[in-house]
Amino acid sequence: MLTRWAGIVAATVVASLAASAAGLPSAALFASLLVGIAYALTLGGEHPLTPPKPVLTFGQVVIGVALGAQLTSGTLRAVAGDWLPIAVITLATLVISLAAGLLLSRATGLDRPTALLGLIAGGASGIVAMSDELGADARLVAFMQYLRVLIVVVTAPLVATVLFGAGGDALAPSAGGAGLAADLLFTAGCGVAGIIIARRAPITAGSLLVPLVIAGALSVSGLTDGAHVPDRVQDLGFAAIGLQVGLRFTVATIRQAGRLLPAVVAAIAGMIVACGGLALVVLFVTDVSFSDAYLATTPGGLYAVLAVAVGGGGNVGFVLAVQALRLFAMILAAPPLVRVITSGGRRGGA
């Protein structure tokens, strides 16, 4: 077993480096997911592997802290003057996501938790990490979430360049952080405190959500001096979640994903069009350009739209603020909303 794990770890490292070089978002998660699927479909039948539960908890904690650290006081200041329309846009995007999930469930017969979480527009890594606890099929959620990210990453720069003349091929520079020691202390502190609280309070996906809230609150307060999860620690967390999901794939799951592909692509396309309509609302109630409004309202693809905004000389602060706030809202709102909608569907069908 140790030999098989060593092989998987080595393959994950190589695949992560390749995915990172290719510019894929959440490269470690994406790569580990593919490695896990490859093992599950070739050797998993005779030699199944399952990561220990503490590995999953570690991955959830790291992703939670990493997402929470993206919410800063600068983010809030960037949208302070337009907080009401941006709040409305965030709520509307959530409604669009949930409506797309319900339509997908009705059209394909896919269970509601999986359909709803699979099409939540933002925070793919966090959504995948919490999907098991919400009664969804994490394998199909990962398939739909990363298909959404892929489609948005491909279409957003194309639409912005062709229609609005924006362009760019470099990501916005990330914050330098407070130094490795402070970053590690920040990550460990938020993680340990989050786990302690989550174990004492009945919070679904608490191992992810509680560290996320703690990290977000500290980041907004400015007390952490820009601390964030170190890149290598974040990669380990992402890889833990990717392997946990990927190692559970089967041939039947792959076939089901293939059958769902046309309907999922159609649902994602509808979300992109609907969110594009929200850009018109932003244009009329704020003083940003149509290009910035469109980039701010795309259903995901944070790093891709930032790259376009930077390259095209757009309002990067506004785009980042709206995308980051939406991501934060989606992750926090998903668990209670999925539970409510799912329980409502069960009562209605009883």
User: What is the secondary structure of 230-241 as a DSSP string?
Assistant: -HHHHHHHHHHH
Quickly list DSSP for 242-273: HHHHHTT--HHHHHHHHHHHHHHHHHHHHHHH
- Give per-residue pLDDT as tens, 64-102: 898 888 777 877 777 777 778 788 888 999 999 999 999
pLDDT at 144 over 90: yes
Q: Is the pLDDT of residue 137 over 70?
A: yes
Amino acid 202: pLDDT? 73
**End-to-end CA separation in angstroms for the chain:** 46
Closest CA to 328 of 73, 122, 176: 122
Contact 167/317 with Cβ under 8 angstroms?
no
Residue 166 scores a pLDDT above 70: no
Structure tokens at 208: 């992810």
Say how far apart CA 235 and CA 77 lie, in whole Å.
30
d(CA 12, CA 38): 11
Longest CA–CA separation in the chain, Å: 60
Looking at residue 245, what is its pLDDT?
87
Name which of 29-38, 185-194, 220-229 the model is least confident about. 220-229
Instruction: Indicate the pTM of the whole model.
Output: 0.77
DSSP assignment string, 25-52: TTHHHHHHHHHHHHHHHHTTTTS-----
Share above pLDDT 90 across residues of the chain, in percent, rounded to a whole number: 33
**How deeply is 343 buried, as exposed, middle or buried, from its count of CB atoms within 10 A (0-12, 13-18, 19+)?**
exposed
**Residue that wins the pLDDT comparison between 44 and 147:** 147
pLDDT category, 312, cuts 50, 70, 90?
low
Token pair of 212, please?
A: 């996320």
Query: What are the CA-CA distances from residue 83 to residues 68, 75, 169, 322 (Å)?
Result: 19, 11, 30, 10
Mean pLDDT of 145-150: 85
pLDDT tier, 304 (very low <50, low <70, confident <90, very high otherwise)? low
